[in-house]
Amino acid sequence: MRAALWLAGVTSLALANSAIAADTIKIGFVSTFSGPTAVIGNDMRNSFELALDHMGRKMGGKPVEVIYEDDQQKPDVGKQKTEKLIQSDKVDFIAGYIWSNVLLASLKTAVDAQTFLISANAGPSQLAGELCSPYVFSTSWQNDQTPQAVGLYMNQKGVKSVFLIGPNYAAGKDMLAGVKSTFKGQVLGEEYTVWPSQLDFSAELSKARASKAESIFVFYPGAAGVQFLNQYTQAGLKQQIPLYTAFTIDELSLPLQKENALGVPGAQEWVNDLPNEQNKRFVADYRKKYTGLRPTFYGAQSYDAAQLINSAVEAVKADTSKKDAMKAEMEKANFKSVRGPFKFGNNHIPIQNFYLQDVVKDADGQLSLKTVATIVKDDQDRYHDKCPMK
Amino acid sequence: MLLIVEQFLNGLQFGLLLFLLAAGLTLVFGIMDFVNLAHGSLYMMGAYFAASFVAWTGNFIFGIVLALGATLLLGILLEFVALRHLYGRDHLDHVLATFGLILFFNDAVRLIWGPAGLALPLPAWLTVPIAIMPGIYYPAYRLAIIAVALAVALILYLVVMRTRVGMLIRAGASNREMIGALGINIKLLYTLVFGLGAALAGLAGLMQAPILTVQIGMGENILILAFVIIVIGGIGSIRGAFLAAIFVGMIDTLGRAFLPDLLRQVLSSSAASTAAPALSSMLIYLLMAIVLVARPEGLFPANRS
């Protein structure tokens, strides 16, 4: 009798489980939630959650279940977590990915399993070129694009020479290559630092000064950007050699960079003050839901990733087995991006504007980022013709 | 030429900072025979204390003095509550317990200060570059680190070589059982040494904080370098730690500064810029391997009979 009851309990539990599995849209989200760069992962999660709130936490009429996994900023861990999400959780979509090296390590797992992967940040050149896949979309950019915009801006300013500094990993190399591809002046030096362990840039700064370059370009995401700006200012270089940046100053690093960041320009595809309705709602509701915090471009891209997934699920009325239909729908980019104009190229990387942003004091006396100008309109990455998809 | 001088200063500054961290580690390891992986956590706590106290008091100097005191007390408390129960045990037990402490401190910091990290802003008089030679500007704060670390090294030398406490510490490093047998309160000596080591780690952390950010896990990368230094310098030897730290600081900085250009002479530019950071971060480990082969006791072993 007891055994029968037990058995009944188990079967009903199993039934309940399978019922849940069929009735939810499952999304895996891989990002960094521990260590010094966890603040980035938190911002992405906050924005993704906010997007779900805005959708009533349902896609195509079905409730959404998101499983967040921590990649610890390590490619091997990211790959494991991706495998776990796809093979044992059987997610319908997988999104997130801050780091290019983590994404590159995880990519094959998703593509082989024909699970849609939406990169909400990382944009290695391989992803836009030879490794492009029908199952992979990006709601960010290809790494080279943002520094390319910085290079164009430096040309506009009439800068004659530059010294480049960046971290020695996939994204760092793309970033410096990006500036070099558009900057018309001389490149007087190029330094790569050990990533992510090297935190002291004194040797590189001394070389930049000795090179007599007119400007310095850096790419240092996360805490490294704070450290770089500290050391750049302390070395007295702020008065000597103007700095141009990509992904070095954002709403997460700004409270720590403070005055050091004033007047340091950067390029970005999204700025918090972009004047479209969707963005106003995103920024206002984010600041309401998470008091004391401000959304970053990482968050904006994650918000768009949720919207992209939603558009696909709505189009197939939550029948996620219709992969071709979902792919066709996503290629249309049929959603209102928080960055305004947004469409996909043949390689599923966005074609979009890049803006010049500057650090200013806002109305409440806080430092914030502001759009100054549009550097380039409808920019497409320079690897798209290497992608076999047409 | 100017670049070389500047890079030497960079190397010296980095080396001296490493010395502060390694000195505490070598004291604890050499004298108490205790492997303390949580030394990096004390470094982190020093930085967090400094950021909080400086913000609280509004005065940089006052804040860091308070932070030093707090790290000293924390070290003594840690020794009293947790570590003294582990002295007789195997090194593996030390490693396990102090690894647990790293996790404890990281999560404690996350709870108290939040995951985002803190900034420790410098007062205006430390942010200006100083002309040390015509045409060479060096950040005032990095010069201050060099001065403070040299002063601490001198004081440590005087304390260890010229005072009674120092004599006991040296005796403890040479023969632990004997000084216990001679009626010295070895427990108190150990607590004192551990507290001193903690304060040195805290000093290194809070001096590094304005250059870097104050963040969770900041002590873990740098602790590996500190271990390399005490192995090269000879375990338990302050003099060894000092020279090895400067050595490692120089090799690391000069390697990063000049290796890429040297490699570009023989390799293509892009291959050189990829290989150089990897190679320069390997140099210190190569040095350690060579020292271990040639002189397993370290370059300047503490006097053991």
What are the tens digits of pLDDT across the range B128-150? Answer: 888 887 777 788 999 999 999 99
Q: Do B216 and A35 touch (CB under 8 A)?
A: yes
Question: Cβ distance A189 to A163 under 8 Å?
Answer: yes
Q: If you count them, how many residues does chain B have?
A: 305
- Tell me the two tokens of residue A89: 């959780």
Q: Do B121 and A258 touch (CB under 8 A)?
A: yes
Nearest CB among B127, B216, B273 relative to A233 is that of: B127
Interface of B with A in 226-265 (CB under 8 A): 253-254, 256-257, 260
Residue A21 has pLDDT above 60, yes or no: no
Query: Given this model, what pLDDT does residue A5 score?
Result: 52
> For domain A2-141+275-352, which architecture applies?
3-Layer(aba) Sandwich (3.40)
Label residue B211 left, alpha or beta by phi (over 0 means left) and psi (-120 to 50 means alpha).
alpha
Question: Cβ distance B12 to B252 under 8 Å?
Answer: no
Cα–Cα distance for residue pair B101/A53, rounded to 1 Å: 39
Q: Which amino acid is at B280?
A: S
CB neighbour class for A321 (10 Å; exposed up to 12, middle 13-18, buried from 19) = exposed
Residue B303 has pLDDT above 70, yes or no: no
Residues in chain B closer than 8 A to A204 (CB atoms): 256
Question: Cβ distance B13 to A202 under 8 Å?
Answer: yes
Would A2-141+275-352 and A145-268 be classified into the same CATH topology? yes
Please tell me which residue of chain B has the smallest CA distance to A197.
B221
- Confidence bin at A266 (pLDDT 50/70/90): very high
Write out pLDDT tens, residues B194-217: 999 999 999 999 999 988 878 888
Residues in chain A closer than 8 A to B218 (CB atoms): 36
Nearest CB among A202, A203, A226 relative to B213 is that of: A226
- Tell me the two tokens of residue A52: 């779900």
Q: Determine contact: B277 vs chain A, CB below 8 A.
A: yes
Residues in chain B closer than 8 A to A236 (CB atoms): 128-129, 137, 139
Query: Given this model, what pLDDT does residue B305 score?
Result: 36
Write out pLDDT tens, residues A188-233: 998 888 887 777 898 899 899 989 999 999 999 988 899 899 999 9
How many beta-carbon pairs under 8 angstroms link A with B? Answer: 108
Which residue, among B228, B256, B267, B285, would best test binding to A if mutated, counting the most A CBs under 10 Å from its CB?
A: B256
Kindly state the average pLDDT of the residues A357-377. Answer: 90
Residue A3 has pLDDT above 90, yes or no: no
- Alpha helices by DSSP H, listed for chain A, are 2-23, 38-54, 75-83, 100-112, 125-128, 145-156, 170-182, 202-210, 223-234, 237-240, 254-257, 277-289, 297-315, 323-331
Query: Given this model, what pLDDT does residue B248 score?
Result: 92
Nearest CB among B215, B274, B277 relative to A36 is that of: B215
- Confidence bin at B301 (pLDDT 50/70/90): confident
Count helices and strands in chain A by DSSP H and E runs: 14, 14
Q: Which amino acid is at B14?
A: F
Q: Which residues contact A138 (CB under 8 A, 6 or more apart)?
A: A118, A119, A123, A127, A128, A348, A349, A350
Q: Determine contact: B216 vs chain A, CB below 8 A.
A: yes
Query: Given this model, what pLDDT does residue A9 score?
Result: 53
Query: Given this model, what pLDDT does residue A232 score?
Result: 93
Cα–Cα distance for residue pair A275/B193, rounded to 1 Å: 61
Residue A10 has pLDDT above 70, yes or no: no
Q: Which one, of A322, A359, A337, lies nearest residue A141 by Cα?
A: A337
Count helices and strands in chain B by DSSP H and E runs: 11, 2
Residues in chain B closer than 8 A to A46 (CB atoms): none
CB neighbour class for A216 (10 Å; exposed up to 12, middle 13-18, buried from 19) = buried
Q: Which residues contact A224 (CB under 8 A, 6 or more apart)?
A: A167, A196, A199
Cα–Cα distance for residue pair B67/B65, rounded to 1 Å: 5
Paired strand residues for B190: none
Cα–Cα distance for residue pair A210/A241, rounded to 1 Å: 11
Residue A292 has pLDDT above 90, yes or no: no
Q: Which residues contact B294 (CB under 8 A, 6 or more apart)?
A: none
Per-domain residue ranges of chain A: 2-141+275-352, 145-268
Nearest CB among B13, B139, B274 relative to A168 is that of: B274
Please tell me which residue of chain B has the smallest CA distance to A199.
B212
Give the other-Cβ count within 10 Å of A127's Cβ: 29
Cα–Cα distance for residue pair B127/B143, rounded to 1 Å: 11
Which residue's structure tokens are 């069929």? A22
Looking at residue A236, the DSSP 8-state letter turns out to be T
Query: Given this model, what pLDDT does residue B149 score?
Result: 94
Q: Determine contact: B3 vs chain A, CB below 8 A.
A: yes
Residue A4 has pLDDT above 80, yes or no: no
Give the other-Cβ count within 10 Å of A45's Cβ: 19
Interhelix angle B218-233/B238-266, nearest 10 degrees: 100
* Percent of chain B whose predicted confidence (pLDDT) is above 70: 98
Residue B116 has pLDDT above 90, yes or no: no
Residue A134 has pLDDT above 50, yes or no: yes
| CATH fold label, B2-294 | ABC transporter involved in vitamin B12 uptake, BtuC (1.10.3470)
Query: Given this model, what pLDDT does residue A17 score?
Result: 45
Cα–Cα distance for residue pair A199/A191, rounded to 1 Å: 14
- Confidence bin at B229 (pLDDT 50/70/90): very high
Query: Given this model, what pLDDT does residue A16 score?
Result: 46
Start-to-end CA distance of chain B, whole Å, equals 46
Cα–Cα distance for residue pair A138/B35, rounded to 1 Å: 47
Write out pLDDT tens, residues B156-169: 989 988 999 888 88
Cα–Cα distance for residue pair B271/B204, rounded to 1 Å: 36
Q: Do A234 and B273 touch (CB under 8 A)?
A: no
> For domain A145-268, which architecture applies?
3-Layer(aba) Sandwich (3.40)
Interhelix angle A170-182/A100-112, nearest 10 degrees: 110
Query: Given this model, what pLDDT does residue A22 score?
Result: 59
Query: Given this model, what pLDDT does residue A140 score?
Result: 96
Q: Determine contact: B135 vs chain A, CB below 8 A.
A: no
